[in-house]
Chains A and B, each alone.
Chain A
Amino acid sequence: EPEVTQTPSHQVTQMGQEVILRCVPISNHLYFYWYRQILGQKVEFLVSFYNNEISEKSEIFDDQFSVERPDGSNFTLKIRSTKLEDSAMYFCASSEARGRGSDEPQHFGDGTRLSIL
């Protein structure tokens, strides 16, 4: 079964450094998402991306964050100047259509654990 793959599985970065998290969505999917889960807290939506532009974003997704689909297969999340509170598990997801129902659910990768020192 096709799956969303994320690399690396664990990223350790010094505070203030830039970090790029990478995702390869399922190949025929058109909608792409980033979520994060801070330890002990809920999974939170960051951003959705369709047709090479952001379609929806949360309050968390401020100017420090950006997303890109640099080629036909990768989808990246960049954090420009990392803070301690950016430490979390970051999940990428993709969906064939708008990811709203049983015919088009959002499929998640296994996440990248980001640790900011």
Chain B
Amino acid sequence: DQQVKQNSPSLSVQEGRISILNCDYTNSMFDYFLWYKKYPAEGPTFLISISSIKDKNEDGRFTVFLNKSAKHLSLHIVPSQPGDSAVYFCAAIRNAGNMLTFGGGTRLMVKP
């Protein structure tokens, strides 16, 4: 199932710089997109979401951008902090549903 894809399995960034995590999807029926963060031995924690009627949503250091025509979204973290080091999952939900379809995750390492 490749409906939601995160092509970079890992990303390394210097503290204070911007982290950009990318996600692509194929299903046009997705109308909500979410980012979750996961630390080892813990469950995914919700970070931020965006509706398909918007192209940007911001919450503090986290901004999600949606390009519907390209079926692409990205998560920007500015400035990156060592505590941001985790696996980040992109997820999507279809119209009228509540089933999350996850990408494979990107491991972010923020170096002090």
Contacts and interface: CB of A to CB of B under 8 A. Distances in A.
Bound together: yes
Contacts of A111: 43
B38 to A, nearest CB: 9
Contacts of B104: 41-42
Interface stretch (B16-24, B67-75, B78-86, B92-100): B92-100
Interface range, A side: 20 to 34
A16 B93 CA distance: 34
Interface in B16-51: 32, 34, 36, 41-46, 48-49, 51
A111 B103 CA distance: 18
Contacts of A41: 104
B22 to A, nearest CB: 16
Interface of B: 1, 32, 34, 36, 41-46, 48-49, 51, 57, 59, 89, 93, 97-105
